[in-house]
Amino acid sequence: MKNQKKLIILTGPSGVGKGTVVREILGKDKNIWLSISATTRDPREGEREGENYYFLNQEKFKEMIDQNLFLEWAQFAGNFYGTPLSSVNEKIKKGFTVLLEIEVEGAKQIKEKFPNSLSIFLLPPNKEELERRIRKRGTEKEEAIQKRLSRANYEISASNQFDFALTNNNVDETAERIIKLIKT
Residues of this chain that bind ligand 5GP (CB under 6 A): 14, 18, 37, 41, 72, 74, 76, 81-83, 101-103, 105-106
- Nearer residue to ligand 5GP within complex by CB, 106 or 124: 106
In DSSP terms, 55 is beta-bridged to: 39
Least Cβ distance, residue 7 to ligand 5GP (angstroms): 13
Output the smallest distance, CB 128 to ligand 5GP, in A: 19
Min separation Cβ 82 and ligand 5GP, Å: 5
Helix pair 127-137, 142-156: axis angle to 10 deg: 150
What pairs with residue 49 in β-bridges?
A: 53
Q: Which residue is nearest to ligand 5GP (CB)?
A: 106
Find the shortest distance in angstroms from Cβ 72 to ligand 5GP. 6
Q: Which is nearer to ligand 5GP, 50 or 184 (by Cβ)?
A: 50
Looking at the Cβ atoms of 107 and 184, the one nearer to ligand 5GP is 107
Name the minimum Å distance from CB 101 to ligand 5GP.
5
> Residue 67: CB partners within 8 Å, gap ≥ 6?
none
**73 touches 83 (CB < 8 A):** yes
Closest listed residue to residue 11, CA positions, set 125, 129, 168 = 168
Give the ranges where the chain is alpha helix by DSSP (H): 18-28, 58-66, 85-93, 104-113, 127-137, 142-156, 171-183
**3-state percent helix, strand, coil for the chain, nearest multiple of 5:** 45, 25, 30
**For residues 76 and 121, which CB has a smaller minimum distance to ligand 5GP in the complex?**
76
If the CB atoms of residues 10 and 184 are measured against ligand 5GP, the closer one turns out to be: 10
